[in-house]
Structure 1
Amino acid sequence: MERKKVAFYTLGCKLNFSETSTIARRFIDEGFDRVDFKSAADIYVINTCSVTENADKRFKTIVKQAQKINPGAFVVAVGCYAQLKPQELADVNGVDLVLGATEKFKITDYINDLTKNDYGEIHSCEIEEADFYVGSYSIGDRTRAFLKVQDGCDYKCTYCTIPLARGISRSDTLENVLKNAQEISEKGIKEIVLTGVNIGDYGKGEFGNKKHEHTFFELVTELDKVQGIERLRISSIEPNLLKNETIDFVATSHSFVPHFHIPLQSGSNTLLKLMRRRYLRELYQDRVHKIKTVMPNACIGVDVIVGFPGETDDLFLETYNFLNELNISYLHVFTYSERENTMAAEMEGVVPKNVRAKRSKMLRGLSAKKRRAFYESQIGNTLTVLFEGENKEGYIHGFTENYVKVKAPWNPDLVNTLHDVELTKIDDDGLVRFEFIHELV
């Protein structure tokens, strides 16, 4: 009998990518063949995101793409949007099955009959039931793997639906994280990116157990001992959970790289309080100063939201000026969008959408300036590059340990290898050229 084919499309964050990979491995274990999403498949699985309005809209487009390739294919929606708005997804023409937060990892149990449904069937729990933990990591066409260590969030930020979509904060066991890291290492992957919803909160057990079995610092120190992994990267960590002990450890670590991504959201204390963030700008400033003191060449990325309710011109300028003066490397700019069942959606002082767009453009411009300045500061330095696997218009790209993106003429022998290089100049496209020093691995 011919094996059935399954294809996957992932929207959103690194955490979603790691979970898609775990779901895909389940299908392969059950005798399915995984194919590219642009190929004909019997089943299309779409892992959804609900962080921005745009992600919601993109879902419908992706369903149409799948139907165009194979009108008779069985279409499944999983992920955050599937948990928050299952009926909305089930109503999209062509969707056959919608699985919520606890059901997505048991997906193959729900797929017995691939006959198209007249309407989308929903299996979705109350989010309070999402109190168990499923470990995940993603591998595939990448030179790096995303390793999930934590899920859910206990924070109550007024703009965020993630606690509603993913439930309470809970973590993988240290033993299982290390086992997964070892498996990744044995597949020849050189870099692991730690991922989760709130990874600095690592250590909270299952079933709402708030006792930390282990701390994030213990996780970091143990992962550093895993043989065969050249690089470990902390993807995103709350400033109030990034402690001095972790920063100091990364500075002298065998494999953790000098790259931090730290959400700020606003440079105005007034807005941080309205957002119910768990720090003020002074603490953020202190974290950046601490990192740059022990790792002067560290790359620091920042998440920031523009157009939050109550953000006047003066408060926006507070954020702009704060970021302009801060020794950071780039920004991820999010334009605020109203989400149902959040406190922010009910707040006064709604910022007009055209003003949100203008402010977003200003901060994206600042980000380009910051990235350029950071790249310029690295010219002449000797750094290590891990090369990626894709031929992009005759060039191979790679990243230094401190996240400078470099390019060289395509050479397949470089894929997934590490090399010492000297950065020489910034090209017209903003990427950095280099000269090889000697082969590392």
Structure 2
Amino acid sequence: MSIHEDDSGLGSDLAESEVFNTDYKQFLQNQIDAVLTSEREKQSGLDRREELHIAIDLCKKKIVEMDESDDAKRQQILDLMVELRLELEQVEEIQAKDPAASVTRWQGHEFVLQSLRGRNPYCETCVSTIWRIAQAWRRCIKCGFRTHDKCVKKVNDKCAAWIVGKPGFEFDLRICPEKTLLSQNYECFSCNRAISYESGSDAEPRLCDYTGQYYCKKCHWNDNMIIPARVVRNWDFQPRVVCRSVKKLLITASKKPIIQLEKLNPALPSYIHSVSEICKLRKQILLMKCFFLCCRLSLQSARNLRILQHLNRYQHFVESSDRYTMEDLIALHSGNLLQEIQDIVKIFRKHITEECETCRGNAFVCELCSNKETIYPFDDSASTCRTCCAVFHKTCFSTASRRCPRCARREARKCAILAEMNEDGQDKN
């Protein structure tokens, strides 16, 4: 064979190989396009970054299924994966510069891409480990829900923060309104997975003490939480098992002042001493608030005494006297809340009755007796007229059958003015 013949054969082989490689690369790209078209029909909100992840996963699957002898095809797949990876990095870099572009909204969640560093978390959707280095994952910035990026559209549970943030949200105060498996069609209440006691441990139904519904093992991890209904109805703080979505709901709503304890269970203060005491202290705080609003030195004195810093944790205490958070009730049961509020009330009382001349000047003197000692509406021995807010000794006010002399004077003055107006009208006529 001549040199020219040899060169001609080598050139022919290279050309044939190039055509083969180009054809396979185009074939692979066509497959990717077909898969993406199918995914777009299933998920209307698919963005470019999600499409790139799907394409890369398909390339990985092709490499795993490929024979070891297909080196040429393997190389083509690897080259395509490199191109896809570079494009993915560019897309993620653009999204990092514009955080709004990297937020994926689903079921009320706002999922944001997380970094590759740190410990490997757990995906709450597919219940498997998230390998940060190899797998993109997202976390809801509102409720903390963690999931693989590829599992976002499989999330069934609505965002707990989104639910709690709705106007008029309240806890379900029915004590474990248990349903039957038949009423759920033998399906998990969250993901509709088949559950049954007769199908083995993998399909074992798990009851949530808050909703009374049954869930599968993926949606119910046997987490223990204190149930609001049992606290309000029975003052029972024993933790009980709840599903994952309820756990997030209870944690998110634990700082929301939505429990009107005295209205929901009026008899509770009669049986629980700590509840009776905190109700009394909260009414005193609202009465003391009136003095602070009129006190020119209160803000400066409060800062010096760190009063405002204490109240920042209990802002709802100065807005109403009957609303509690779950954290309040848990702290009250442990004894911490009552002691802390007692200390704050002592600081308030000292400022009003001893340290501030303006507050002392707003004190009252009982008009129903000869005792000229000043009294305050938040004193245990004081009673307040509901009409004019005048303050009297409790025993004096009860003896006078709760007839207020200030209201009597006002009524007499009003009658006199009306009489004068009538006389003037008659004179003109």
**TM-score, scaled to structure 2:** 0.22
Normalized per residue, which structure has more strand?
1
Normalized per residue, which structure has more helix?
2
Q: Which has the larger radius of gyration?
A: 2
**TM-score, scaled to structure 1:** 0.21
